[in-house]
A and B are shown apart, each in its own frame.
Chain A
Amino acid sequence: MTTVLPHSAYLTGRLLRGTGRQPAFVVIMLIQPMIWLLLFGQLFKRVVELPGFASGSYIDFLTPGVVVMTVLFTSGWAGMAFIDDMDRGVMDRMLSSPVSRIAMMVASVANQAVTIVVQGLIVVVVGLLLGASFSGGVLGVAVMLLASVLLAAAFASLSNGMALIVKTQESLIGFSTMLTLPLSFLSSAMMAREATPEWIQRVSSYNPVDWTVVASREALSADPDWSAIWPRLGGLLAVALVAVWLATRAFRAYQRSQ
């Protein structure tokens, strides 16, 4: 167990360095959330006039939603790196070495966390430029990023675990799409809860994606209701821990199928 931390640090270093050496990928990753915010901001500009929207500015409302969408569409693909490693033989070399299995998961999650924080900050800056007020201030932004990182940890781990089981990019793409799109639409990421059908409202209260959006929106509001934020952050932490644990178990499934 004493190897978990140092191994996590080395493997995270490897992943971040690899990302840094692909400038095209970095640029796309940075531009994508901006485009979403600008596009959705224009598309749904007048949606706040619908009954059920407490907020008067759609950009204020939308920013946490776009951050969460970014989390899903970035972390859902985390397992692709695992499949690259399998195809190249890196996975076999790792698993036949004394590397900590948990560290392999932690490193992937840490890599996602760095990406998510950078992307989240870009969305916040663009939101401010578009006229958002973010009354919750720096603390509100910090809570949003924390919730997003926890959600990213859960999704990245599920994606990694699935990668170890399906072992092909095609299957992973299918799984990831099947999971991310419905989960984002079954949440209040784009639409106020009160403006959605009742069954969606009911489902969304069990949806970790919705917990992230609600906690973030609450924290960014002028007068945050912390009793709505803490339970959701706790729930996200629990989901993330379970996902990391399950994904680490998937190494056994991978080795059994060898």
Chain B
Amino acid sequence: MTVPTGRATASRHAAPPPTEEPAIVADELVKTYGDVTALAGLSFTVEAGTVFGLLGPNGAGKSTTIKILTTLSTATSGSASVAGLDVRRNAADVRRAIGVVTQGSGTDPMATGRENLLLAARIHGMRGRAAKSRVDTLLEQFGLTEATRRIVKTYSGGMQRKLDVAMGLVHEPKVLFLDEPTTGLDPQARADMWAEIARLAAHERLTVMLTTHYLEEADHLAGRLLIVDRGEVVAQGSPERLKSELRGDAVVIELAPDADPARAAAAVGGLDATREVTVEGRTIRTRVDHGASAVPAVLAALEKQAVAAVTVARPSLDDVYLRHTGRSFAAAEEVTR
């Protein structure tokens, strides 16, 4: 068995080929479980060295996609390659090239952080001093040195998640998969994890594919985004581009309980300044060119309806999601729960 450290280091210093092959290619991935279609023909490409975000509500097909790409599951039809290797035909080689941080934890609660990392290193063929020094480097890098000798069961959620990521990196993979890396973390731990992922993206020639159902997280971390809903691609591109495709500002009107949402929406839609009016419960959303100058007109049109609040915001990924799927992200989450 070859020692992955050597190979990874070599490729890191080698001059990049003129046209670098994509880190991940998915071509028409379909996955069905009996009558349920989890993926309905998903295609996308991830350039090497980027952070790629897979964004969607619960049940959109994010985890299924990750499972297929990490060889845990096989697609019903379609094909995919990771690091230039077919996930079905070359599963064993794919496993050597990737690091995987699962949605759960993946660490042994009865082992110490160091023991967990050493086991991961040894499974990847590292031996003796090389394995130990790699483990010590990672413990230091992730600020886990003090917890080295404690069993993982005693770790906080944030520490455990850091150890998870460190385990995924032990063999210096080409592609790192992070499935919902910050779900369940408190705000401080989430901020730490964001910093960690941003650092990985900046300093190492590593491709990171992460899934999230937090819009702000995708916006913050990912260079490119794929928005999925019900197993299909809804939109893709950089967060900036996706947002700039939406002209103007978002105006959100919260109606008071006694107002009539349908009439209010009709009144708002009747204005020249407003576009793309949608209604969800007592919330009306619309887009305008200039938020500040449009609000008085909107309020005037709503004269007969009791308004609880009006907010004006620059386009967010929530708006991108709303525009492409016709429902707000929060509403999509509700439905799938």
Q: How far is the CB of A94 from chain B (nearest CB, A)?
A: 8
User: B72 contacts which of A88, A95, A98 (Cβ < 8 Å)?
Assistant: A95
Q: Whole-angstrom distance between the alpha carbons of A72 and B24 in the complex?
A: 47
CB-nearest residue of chain A to B101: A93
Q: How far is the CB of B167 from chain A (nearest CB, A)?
A: 7
Q: Whole-angstrom distance between the alpha carbons of A89 and B73 in the complex?
A: 14
Q: Enumerate chain B interface residues (CB-CB to A < 8 A).
A: 1, 67, 70-74, 92, 95-96, 98, 100, 102-111, 115, 119-120, 122-125, 151, 167
| Dominant SS among interface residues on chain A | helix
A56 beta carbon closer than 8 Å to chain B: no
CB-nearest residue of chain B to A21: B110
Q: Considering residues A10, A18, A93, A94, which has the most beta carbons from chain B within 10 angstroms of its beta carbon? A: A93
CB-nearest residue of chain A to B100: A96
User: B111 contacts which of A14, A97, A98, A258 (Cβ < 8 Å)?
Assistant: A14
User: A88 contacts which of B92, B105, B124, B125 (Cβ < 8 Å)?
Assistant: B105
Interface pairs A-B: 8 shortest CB-CB: A89-B104, A93-B106, A258-B73, A18-B110, A89-B102, A89-B106, A96-B70, A96-B100
Apart from A96-B72, A97-B120, A258-B73: 7 A-B pairs, beta carbons within 8 A: A3-B125, A17-B110, A18-B108, A88-B104, A93-B102, A96-B100, A255-B74
CB-nearest residue of chain A to B98: A96
CB-nearest residue of chain A to B124: A98
Q: Whole-angstrom distance between the alpha carbons of A247 and B14 in the complex?
A: 43
Q: Pull 11 A–B residue pairs with CB atoms less than 8 Å apart, ordered by A.
A: A3-B1, A10-B122, A14-B111, A21-B110, A92-B104, A92-B106, A95-B72, A98-B92, A98-B95, A98-B125, A258-B73
A137 beta carbon closer than 8 Å to chain B: no
Report chain A residues within 8 Å CB of B71.
95-96
Q: How far is the CB of B63 from chain A (nearest CB, A)?
A: 10
* Residues 243-258 (chain A) with a chain B CB within 8 angstroms: 255-256, 258
CB-nearest residue of chain A to B67: A258
Report chain B residues within 8 Å CB of A256.
73-74
Report chain B residues within 8 Å CB of A227.
none
| Dominant SS among interface residues on chain B | loop
CB-nearest residue of chain A to B168: A93
* Residues 2-21 (chain A) with a chain B CB within 8 angstroms: 2-3, 6-7, 10-11, 14, 17-18, 21
Q: How far is the CB of A52 from chain B (nearest CB, A)?
A: 47
User: B119 contacts which of A2, A10, A21, A258 (Cβ < 8 Å)?
Assistant: A10
Q: How far is the CB of B208 from chain A (nearest CB, A)?
A: 16
Q: How far is the CB of B46 from chain A (nearest CB, A)?
A: 17
A99 beta carbon closer than 8 Å to chain B: yes
Report chain A residues within 8 Å CB of B1.
2-3
Q: Considering residues A11, A90, A98, which has the most beta carbons from chain B within 10 angstroms of its beta carbon? A: A98
Q: Judge whether B95 and A97 touch: CB under 8 Å.
A: yes
Report chain A residues within 8 Å CB of B109.
88
Q: Considering residues A21, A87, A92, A256, which has the most beta carbons from chain B within 10 angstroms of its beta carbon? A: A92
Q: Judge whether A21 and B151 touch: CB under 8 Å.
A: yes
Q: Whole-angstrom distance between the alpha carbons of A97 and B95 in the complex?
A: 5
Q: How far is the CB of A66 from chain B (nearest CB, A)?
A: 29
Given A7-B123, A258-B67, A258-B72, residue A97 in contact with residue B115 (CB < 8 A):
no
Q: How far is the CB of B131 from chain A (nearest CB, A)?
A: 11
CB-nearest residue of chain A to B31: A258
* Residues 64-94 (chain A) with a chain B CB within 8 angstroms: 87-90, 92-94
Q: How far is the CB of B108 from chain A (nearest CB, A)?
A: 6
CB-nearest residue of chain B to A93: B106
Report chain A residues within 8 Å CB of B105.
88-90
Q: Judge whether A22 and B122 touch: CB under 8 Å.
A: no
Q: Judge whether B110 and A255 touch: CB under 8 Å.
A: no
Q: Judge whether A92 and B110 touch: CB under 8 Å.
A: no
Q: Whole-angstrom distance between the alpha carbons of A106 and B103 in the complex?
A: 27
Given A97-B100, A98-B96, residue A255 in contact with residue B123 (CB < 8 A):
no
Report chain A residues within 8 Å CB of B72.
92, 95-96, 255, 258
Report chain A residues within 8 Å CB of B124.
97-98
Report chain A residues within 8 Å CB of B125.
3, 98
Q: Whole-angstrom distance between the alpha carbons of A179 and B119 in the complex?
A: 34
